């Protein structure tokens, strides 16, 4: 799982009650016939954010983006950009540019001409066009390729031309629909960093649609997780990862072990969940507003579980400690994944970093092991 690369010192306007959102989506619903594609969505997006709409296919991401751009009209609700109600304002009068899922470049034009196209149409003076295009090509590191045609470029380079073309008009808000979808894994990763750098340099507000959770985690200031047209959770990448508000989000972002159980102690500073599935009581050091007996799920991330052949210290009180047999091991170089079968039959996923180079794993196939984790490792979910 990639960790967010955003600097922690970054200004966080969403935590400032006085901050004025740049984009305000207010109770927006979009219906196609009687099908609800976007369901009562409210969102505030702040200037300079790199905001991701994340969700599976068909969750309404593109439809929401198209409403921001003005290509679709909300069935209900309103959208404000920079304080202005966008109702009835056509796409070309919005301070917005959209980079499409399939970024078609003009094949008969050079890189330079592709980027200059929009400025020419707007009647920008030639000298200024030349300057702005050159500056933008430098920024996306394509200065050397200015005279090439799109077919003489790699996929990643074409993607950067499309980006330069969207940015050269200096939109205040750039909407990107699966911008890295056509790139292979390596190039995606590199381009993610480039996108973030360019966005920070220009201070443009980005709203990016993606179905790729790792991409959203790596690039965004905040993520809205969409499910069937509605927003399930909004938060920073680490909030979404560490404090998912539902099983849906916990399972959508990264991998997670989910233990079903019932609340048997509910105190302000902790919760105790009895779980047959886990084979032990689960102690979590934060309270949840859940009455005794409530059915809940406790989510524990694979990297937060330790494996040992000897009983860990926590074994004394039998909380957050269970036993199982190692059934599968996948060696991934930087880390290994262990699939451990508990007595009740549930399979638990555990990951451990490979910090030393060793020829023999400390834990191997068919070993009986203890699985243990700390009180802060689990998150209690009641939906």
Please choose which of ligand ADP, Mg ion, none residue 58 contacts, taking the beta carbon within 5 to 8 angstroms, the exact cut-off set by kind.
ligand ADP
- Part in contact with ligand ADP (CB under 6 A); list of ranges 31-39, 259-267, 282-290, 369-377: 31-39
Beta strands in the chain (DSSP E): 23-32, 35-45, 50-55, 76-81, 84-85, 96-99, 173-177, 205-210, 222-227, 230-235, 257-267, 270-275, 280-284, 295-300, 306-308, 321-331, 335-342, 347-353, 368-372, 378-381
Nearer to ligand ADP, 34 or 267 (CB): 34
Nearest distance, CB of residue 233 and ligand ADP, angstroms: 16
Can you tell me whether residue 364 is helix, strand or coil?
coil
Alpha carbons 130 and 166: distance in angstroms, whole number: 16
Q: CA gyration radius for the chain?
A: 25
Cβ 84 vs Cβ 23: under 8 Å: no
Cβ neighbours for 51, distance < 8 A, ≥ 6 positions apart: 45, 205, 206, 207, 208, 220, 221, 222, 223, 224
Please choose which of ligand ADP, Mg ion, none residue 60 contacts, taking the beta carbon within 5 to 8 angstroms, the exact cut-off set by kind.
ligand ADP
Nearest distance, CB of residue 246 and Mg ion, angstroms: 22
Alpha carbons 63 and 36: distance in angstroms, whole number: 11
Nearest distance, CB of residue 229 and Mg ion, angstroms: 12
Nearer to ligand ADP, 61 or 94 (CB): 61
Alpha carbons 163 and 100: distance in angstroms, whole number: 10
What is the pattern of x (binds Mg ion, CB under 5 A) and - over residues 320-349? ------------------------------
Please choose which of ligand ADP, Mg ion, none residue 319 contacts, taking the beta carbon within 5 to 8 angstroms, the exact cut-off set by kind.
none
Please choose which of ligand ADP, Mg ion, none residue 311 contacts, taking the beta carbon within 5 to 8 angstroms, the exact cut-off set by kind.
none
What is the pattern of x (binds ligand ADP, CB under 6 A) and - over residues 42-61? -------------x-xxxxx
Nearer to Mg ion, 62 or 192 (CB): 62
Q: Confirm or reject binding of residue 372 to Mg ion (CB under 5 A).
A: no
Site for Mg ion in 56-95 (CB under 5 A): 62
**Residues binding Mg ion (CB under 5 A):** 62
**Residues binding ligand ADP (CB under 6 A):** 32, 35, 37, 55, 57-63
């Amino acid at each position: 799982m990639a960790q967010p690369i955003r600097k922690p010192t970054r200004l966080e306007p969403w935590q400032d009650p006085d901050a004025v959102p740049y984009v305000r989506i207010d109770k927006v619903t979009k219906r196609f016939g009687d099908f609800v594609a976007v369901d009562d969505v409210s969102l505030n997006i702040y200037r300079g954010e790199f905001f991701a709409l994340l969700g599976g296919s068909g969750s309404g991401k593109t439809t929401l983006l198209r409403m921001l751009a003005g290509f679709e009209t909300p069935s209900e609700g309103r959208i404000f950009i920079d304080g202005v109600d966008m109702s009835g304002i056509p796409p070309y009068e919005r301070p917005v540019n959209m980079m499409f899922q399939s970024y078609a470049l003009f094949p008969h034009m050079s890189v330079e001409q592709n980027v200059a196209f929009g400025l020419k149409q707007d009647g920008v003076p030639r000298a200024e066009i030349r300057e702005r295009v050159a500056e933008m090509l430098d920024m996306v590191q394509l200065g050397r390729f200015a005279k090439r045609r799109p077919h003489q470029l790699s996929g990643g380079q074409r993607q950067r031309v499309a980006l330069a073309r969207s940015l050269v008009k200096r939109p205040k808000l750039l909407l990107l629909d699966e911008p890295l979808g056509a790139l292979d894994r390596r190039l995606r990763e590199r381009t993610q960093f480039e996108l973030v750098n360019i966005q920070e340099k220009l201070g443009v507000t980005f709203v990016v649609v993606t179905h790729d959770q790792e991409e959203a985690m790596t690039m965004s200031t905040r993520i809205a997780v969409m499910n069937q047209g509605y927003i399930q959770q909004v938060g920073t990448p680490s909030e979404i990862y560490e404090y998912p508000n539902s099983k849906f989000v916990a399972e959508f972002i990264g991998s997670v072990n989910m233990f079903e159980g019932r609340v048997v102690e509910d105190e302000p500073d902790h919760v105790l969940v009895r779980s047959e599935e886990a084979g032990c009581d689960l102690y979590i050091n934060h309270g949840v507003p859940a009455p005794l007996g409530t059915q809940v799920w406790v989510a524990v991330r694979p990297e937060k579980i330790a494996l040992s052949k000897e009983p860990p210290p926590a074994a004394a009180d039998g909380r957050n400690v269970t036993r199982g047999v190692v059934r599968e091991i996948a060696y991934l170089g930087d880390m290994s994944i262990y699939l451990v079968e508990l007595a009740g039959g549930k399979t638990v996923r555990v990951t451990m970093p490979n910090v030393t180079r060793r020829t023999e794993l400390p834990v191997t196939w068919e070993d009986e092991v203890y699985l243990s984790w700390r009180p802060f490792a689990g998150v209690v979910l009641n939906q």
